[in-house]
Chain A
Amino acid sequence: MSTAGLEVEIQGRFRALSMDLALHATDAPIVVAGPNGAGKTTLLMAILGAETPARGHVTLDGVPLFDRARDVDVPVERRRIGYLPQRYTLFPHLAVLDNVAYGVPAVHRPERRRRAAETLAALGLASLAARRPAELSGGEAQRVALARALASEPRALLLDEPLAALDASVRREVRRFIAARVRALAIPAVVVTHDRADAEAFGGEVVVIERGAVVQRGPLAALAAAPATEFVRRFVDRSPEG
């Protein structure tokens, strides 16, 4: 069954958590929601290759990245899956341009920097190129981190609460910025969030997991119409942010 997109099936015990769930992301972002400790970050780690599930598989565009049964486990750096964590993770010792150039798949540094500059320009961030990460605001830092992920030409993208560390005042604008870029990419994307507003902005399917398993999935409207659990009810009830 070789299909397009990102197919994930994970079973096994991760520390105190027993996980058993499946996801299939095509070219629209999937939003994953769930209470703390539900296994959202563990799911992302397993897709990236930083955690090894006891059973299951991860397949990207028909290519197996992980398959316990067939002994396939592609290392993190060869999976070509972009990752945008919640905390600011720009390399503090590199200027913005060199941060973005870090993952550009080109051999020579001038070529990497040229393409990094193109990516920054395409995202309207060219004016930040010479800055140090310490000189950026939180919103600028997350935009540059997205630019860095995109410049590495990922075939899928994972975002772990990318807006959670931002001030409420800039969150809305950065959310619109990131959601528009991720949707435009048309590659499989998984967005972990606590916030209904993210689910609205990224669109697509919402998958709610609790204690390592999927409790409900579907469009946000369908979840709102018939929430399966207390968490889902509170997640869809939260009034959209101002």
Chain B
Amino acid sequence: MSERPDPRAGRSVLDAVLWPTAVGLASGVLVLLVALPIAGLLLTSSPGALIRALGDPMVGPALGVTASTTTVSLALIVACGTPLAWLLARHRTRAARIVETLVHLPVVLPPAVAGVALLLAFGRRGLMGPPLAALGVGLPFSRAAVVLAQAFVAAPFYVQAAIAAFRRLDPDLVLVARTLGASRPRVFFTVAVPISWPALGAGAALSWARALGEFGATLLFAGNLTGRTQTLPLAIYTALESDLRAAQSLSIVMVAVAFAVLVAVRAGTRP
């Protein structure tokens, strides 16, 4: 027997000890990196103190601004993004590919860059400044600027999901619907959208979560005015300077919301 190679000889120390240890360590580092801050948020204050901190005068207005702006920006994204995604999913031209890339760009763009770009487009001295001024519209540092900043950074998440959903739709279903007398809009509203609904809902949830967390572009383009442009993330940033407990409470609220979105998206996209 000693002449035959031992089947375990080749996988001795490396296979049996080093590799499992390395994989375990690497995995552990990343899991801790995510878990420790969440634990820090949840465990470093008593529940009573956290609930009292939610009474901070900054919290109410920030919740109101966030609820109203993210609702409007999501409505804008869905109302304009769904037809855009339908168009891009059904046309494979060079122009369509260019537009698709352009619409996805904000995903990889630093939020600060998005803020500067929005200022240079819609600011008083920006591209659209003079025509907007002529109409008596001042966008920067307004509630509308918050909505624009959120829509800019969050739209790609919805559009991407909607394009993927519409591309999965059997083209014969669309054709059959038309042979049954359905106009293009009727096919869109009664076949394409209802069939793609779970994926569209998941995309909308991700997009909304991204809008909810928007910080950099909002700070640069809309400012940090309590009750007007101060959203939850900006309120957290401000609270850090005065009352850590309030920042912590707001953060826990946002973690809970994010977790709920994640669970909903998982449920919605399950095949």
- Give A residues with C-beta under 8 Å from B: 48, 50, 75-83, 85, 87, 89, 91-93, 102-103, 105, 145, 148-149, 152, 154
- A48–B195 CB distance below 8 A: no
- A81–B177 CB distance below 8 A: no
- A79–B179 CB distance below 8 A: yes
- A50–B194 CB distance below 8 A: no
6 contacts between A and B (CB under 8 A): A77-B179, A77-B180, A78-B181, A83-B179, A87-B170, A89-B172
CB distance from A94 to the nearest CB of B (A): 8
- A89–B183 CB distance below 8 A: no
Query: A77 and B194 in contact (CB under 8 A), knowing A85-B176, A89-B173, A91-B177?
Result: no
Query: How many angstroms between the C-alpha atoms of A48 and B178 in the bound complex?
Result: 10
CB distance from B44 to the nearest CB of A (A): 48
Most chain A beta-carbon neighbours within 10 Å: one of B181, B194, B197: B181
Q: In B152-185, which residues have CB < 8 Å from any A CB?
A: 170, 172-173, 175-184
- A93–B195 CB distance below 8 A: yes
Query: How many angstroms between the C-alpha atoms of A76 and B190 in the bound complex?
Result: 17
B254 within 8 A of A: no
- B172–A103 CB distance below 8 A: no
Chain A: which residue is nearest B182 at the CB level?
A77
Interface size, B (range): 10 to 19
In terms of DSSP, what is the predominant structure of the interface of chain B?
helix
- Give B residues with C-beta under 8 Å from A: 170, 172-173, 175-184, 190-191, 194-195, 197
- A91–B173 CB distance below 8 A: yes
Chain B: which residue is nearest A101 at the CB level?
B180
Query: A83 and B175 in contact (CB under 8 A), knowing A77-B182, A102-B182?
Result: yes
Cβ-defined partner of A87 (8 Å) among B172, B183, B191, B194: B172
Query: How many angstroms between the C-alpha atoms of A85 and B172 in the bound complex?
Result: 7
- A77–B178 CB distance below 8 A: yes
Query: How many angstroms between the C-alpha atoms of A92 and B169 in the bound complex?
Result: 11
Q: Please provide the 7 A-B residue pairs with the shortest distance between their CB atoms, ordered closest to farther.
A: A103-B180, A76-B178, A83-B179, A77-B178, A93-B194, A89-B176, A85-B172
User: What are the residues of chain B within 8 A of A105 when measuring CB–CB?
Assistant: 181
Query: How many angstroms between the C-alpha atoms of A93 and B189 in the bound complex?
Result: 13
Cβ-defined partner of A77 (8 Å) among B172, B173, B181, B197: B181
